[in-house]
């Protein structure tokens, strides 16, 4: 297999920005197997890892006009893959925690439709709480919990200190917990706290 060198990566970037599908194919051939192994290491599922590969390269193609020469293509590719993996892990964990909540509450959904409805209600409540956060705090929370960035990465991206990120996250989590309690979701609070912590 051809090994990518910086010069060839710069050529790929240039050609990708010019909508050249051959450059995209070359990039896919070079890195798809590595992205698959990377995803499989976390997800332990062939189909799930394949989905990450497809989504990852789709995002690269969709964002090709924004790719920068000073950002290594391989690093950017695996950053995208890492965020997709975190989102998938978070989603599957959220579903699992809801199932545990249903059992604890004695309301074990008898059908997948029941589960989907209840899960949608929880997500609606979560979204409503998120919208009530101050804009900067919501941005920090979203970067952490939905995009999977570390506190250090958030601090660097927003040009603030890690301590500020930690403080804002603590305040966001405190508000979210209070919001869930105020809306009569005490039983669901435990799994949600595990998710949000």
- Domain at 124, CATH number: 1.10.10.10
* Domain co-membership, 96 together with 117: no
Determine the Cα–Cα distance for residues 65 and 63; give it in Å rounded to an integer: 6
What's the token pair of residue 83?
């965020």
Q: Does residue 54 register a pLDDT over 90?
A: yes
Q: Does residue 195 register a pLDDT over 70?
A: no
Q: Does residue 2 register a pLDDT over 60?
A: no
Q: Does residue 154 register a pLDDT over 70?
A: yes
What are the tens digits of pLDDT across the range 73-90? 777 888 888 888 877 876
* Domain co-membership, 96 together with 184: no
Full residue range of the structural domain in which residue 169 is found: 109-197
Determine the Cα–Cα distance for residues 19 and 15; give it in Å rounded to an integer: 6
Q: Out of 51-55, 119-123, 141-145, 149-153, pick the least confident.
A: 119-123
Domain boundary pick from 59, 79, 107: 107
According to the model, what pLDDT value does residue 146 have? Answer: 67
Domain boundary pick from 52, 87, 107: 107
Say how many domains are in the chain.
2
According to the model, what pLDDT value does residue 79 have? Answer: 84
* 140-167: average pLDDT: 86
Quick check: helix, strand or coil at residue 13?
helix
* Domain co-membership, 2 together with 96: yes
Determine the Cα–Cα distance for residues 133 and 174; give it in Å rounded to an integer: 11
Burial class (CB in 10 A: 0-12, 13-18, 19+), 13: buried
Q: At 16, which CATH number?
A: 1.10.1740.10
* Domain co-membership, 133 together with 99: no
* Domain co-membership, 33 together with 90: yes
According to the model, what pLDDT value does residue 12 have? Answer: 76
Contact between 102 and 108 under an 8 Å Cβ cutoff? The reply is yes
Highest mean pLDDT among 58-62, 117-121, 135-139, 182-186: 135-139
According to the model, what pLDDT value does residue 116 have? Answer: 55
* Domain co-membership, 68 together with 90: yes
Q: Does residue 134 register a pLDDT over 70?
A: yes
Contact between 98 and 74 under an 8 Å Cβ cutoff? The reply is no
What are the tens digits of pLDDT across the range 5-40? 445 677 777 888 888 888 888 889 888 999 999 888
């Amino acid at each position: 297999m051809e090994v990518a060198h910086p010069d060839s990566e710069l050529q790929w970037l240039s050609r990708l920005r010019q909508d050249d599908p051959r450059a995209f194919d070359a990039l896919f051939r070079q890195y798809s197997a590595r992205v698959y192994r990377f995803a499989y290491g976390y997800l332990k599922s062939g189909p799930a890892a394949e989905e990450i590969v497809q989504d990852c390269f789709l995002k690269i193609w969709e964002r090709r006009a924004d790719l920068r020469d000073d950002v290594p293509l391989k690093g950017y590719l695996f950053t995208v893959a890492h965020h997709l993996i975190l989102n998938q892990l978070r989603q599957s964990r959220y579903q699992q925690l809801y199932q545990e909540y249903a059992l604890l509450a004695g309301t074990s959904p008898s059908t997948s439709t029941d589960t989907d409805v209840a899960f949608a209600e929880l997500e609606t409540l979560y979204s409503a709480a998120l919208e009530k956060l101050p804009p900067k705090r919501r941005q920090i929370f979203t970067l952490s919990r939905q995009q999977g960035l570390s506190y250090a990465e958030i601090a660097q991206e927003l040009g603030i200190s890690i301590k500020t990120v930690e403080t804002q996250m603590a305040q966001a989590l405190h508000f979210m917990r209070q919001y869930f309690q105020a809306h009569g979701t005490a039983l669901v609070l435990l799994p949600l706290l595990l998710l949000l912590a």
